[in-house]
Structure 1
Amino acid sequence: MSSIPPPETFKIKVPQVACDGSGAVSPELGHPRVYLRVDPAVGFVECGYCDRRFILEGGPADTPS
């Protein structure tokens, strides 16, 4: 069984990121801002609100597209 891919994937250079669900939508339609930290052993973190995936460049989850 394969997993469902995340709605959006972003590559980041630092292990911490803030997500508010905005971007393609206006901030009013997003969600509360949350601060996320990538676990170096995993190499990515997903937002609990919008399921965006943030991949740490050079980490174990950073694979060529």
Structure 2
Amino acid sequence: MDIPPPETIRVTSPAVACDGSGEVAPALGHPRVYLRIDPELGFVECGYCDRRFVLEGGPADMPA
């Protein structure tokens, strides 16, 4: 059984918030957490839902 990769969201700001909503209603997500992208990595992952936030133009940004 293949597990799909976590959702990746490209952002323009190094400060992001995640509540797990998107494909599910916000009430079914998780507590909102505030995350900061490390400029050397270019991404940060949510500890609750594993959603990955990639800074556009950063080292982890790959064109789709």
TM-score after normalising by structure 2: 0.90
Q: How many residues align?
A: 62
- Find the counterpart in structure 1 of residue 42 from structure 2: 43
Q: d(CA) in 2 for partners of 1:8 and 1:17? A: 15
- Find the counterpart in structure 2 of residue 58 from structure 1: 57
- List 4+ stretches of structure 1 deviating above 4 A: none
Q: d(CA) in 2 for partners of 1:40 and 1:7? A: 21
- Find the counterpart in structure 1 of residue 33 from structure 2: 34
Unaligned runs of 5+ in 1: none
- Find the counterpart in structure 1 of residue 12 from structure 2: 13
Q: d(CA) in 2 for partners of 1:6 and 1:32? A: 22
Question: Cα RMSD over matched residues?
Answer: 1.4
